[in-house]
């Protein structure tokens, strides 16, 4: 992801890439040396919490696309960011189309409460279900969705998230795809978002970076409070 995003970040006329880090580099030292305003982190779940804490320790704000944070991790980071007077924006997915899919799914749940999620990723995807699918199911459940009969422990019926079942596929030739399958008496609706390349995540990352730098446009500004912001919804739907 980092390699896919760098060309777009470098090409942004209103932003400057002041440093790049790799696995063996000292993120805290580099961020301090470069006086980075915002650090973008797309790494691995094992490194994500430590990296977020280093970003705050460097006095920078963070745009983080790594998944795998526990609720306790998020609470910890929220407290640390507030104490530092900084913001961390953590999102499981930066594709604007995915955010719209989740939003439309919440609207559909009002009339089609029976829904299940099918998420498909490339074979190297580390987690299953993905952080994006987990978040989608949480949002659908909060909107009143349910997956129907069963207690969620049937092996072939997917992983239950808040009562909504998520089915994970790992296949070659796929970047990322998510289907929301709604069913009702005599009819069904399928919503699909497919990432055809990792370039689709760049607009969302640029939106987040600009907002944290105070350069958001079209009224898309972050809330004034510091701390943890989960997802891009506050930017994409500022009036919600």
| Catalytic sites, residue numbers | 121, 125
What token pair was written down for 165?
């079942």
d(CA 134, CA 162) in angstroms, rounded, equals: 9
Give dist(CA 45, CA 160) in Å, integer. Answer: 21
Query: Residue 93's closest CA among 175, 189, 211?
Result: 175
Alpha carbon 105 to its chain centroid, in Å, reads: 16
Place of tokens 């580390």: 126
Contact in structure between 184 and 197 (CB atoms under 8 Å): no
CA 240 to each of CA 103, 191, 220: distance values in angstroms, whole numbers, following the listed order: 11, 22, 12
Q: What phi and psi values does residue 183 have, to the nearest 5 degrees?
A: -135, 145
CA–CA gap between residue 72 and residue 191 (Å, rounded): 32
Give the whole-angstrom CA distance, residue 189 versus residue 178: 14
Residue with tokens 């997917």: 158
């Amino acid at each position: 992801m980092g390699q896919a995003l760098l060309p777009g970040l470098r090409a942004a006329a209103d932003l400057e890439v002041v440093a790049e880090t790799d696995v063996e580099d000292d993120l805290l030292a580099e961020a301090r040396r470069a006086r980075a305003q915002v650090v973008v982190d797309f790494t691995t779940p094992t490194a994500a919490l430590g990296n977020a804490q280093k970003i705050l320790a460097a006095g920078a704000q963070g745009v983080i696309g790594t998944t795998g944070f526990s609720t306790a991790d998020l609470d910890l980071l929220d407290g640390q960011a507030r104490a530092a007077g900084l913001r961390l924006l953590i999102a499981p997915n930066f594709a604007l189309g995915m955010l719209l899919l989740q939003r439309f799914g919440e609207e559909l749940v009002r009339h089609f409460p029976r829904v299940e999620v099918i998420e498909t990723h490339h074979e190297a995807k580390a987690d299953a279900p993905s952080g994006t699918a987990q978040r989608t199911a949480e949002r659908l459940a909060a909107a009143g969705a349910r997956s129907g009969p069963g207690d969620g422990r049937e092996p072939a019926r997917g992983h239950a998230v808040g009562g909504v079942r998520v089915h994970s596929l790992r296949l070659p030739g796929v970047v990322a795809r998510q289907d929301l399958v709604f069913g009702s008496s005599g009819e069904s609706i399928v919503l699909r978002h497919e990432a055809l390349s990792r370039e689709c995540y760049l607009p969302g990352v640029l939106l987040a970076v600009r907002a944290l730098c105070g350069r958001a446009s079209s009224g898309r500004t972050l809330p004034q409070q510091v701390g943890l912001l989960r997802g891009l919804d506050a930017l994409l739907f500022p009036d919600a």
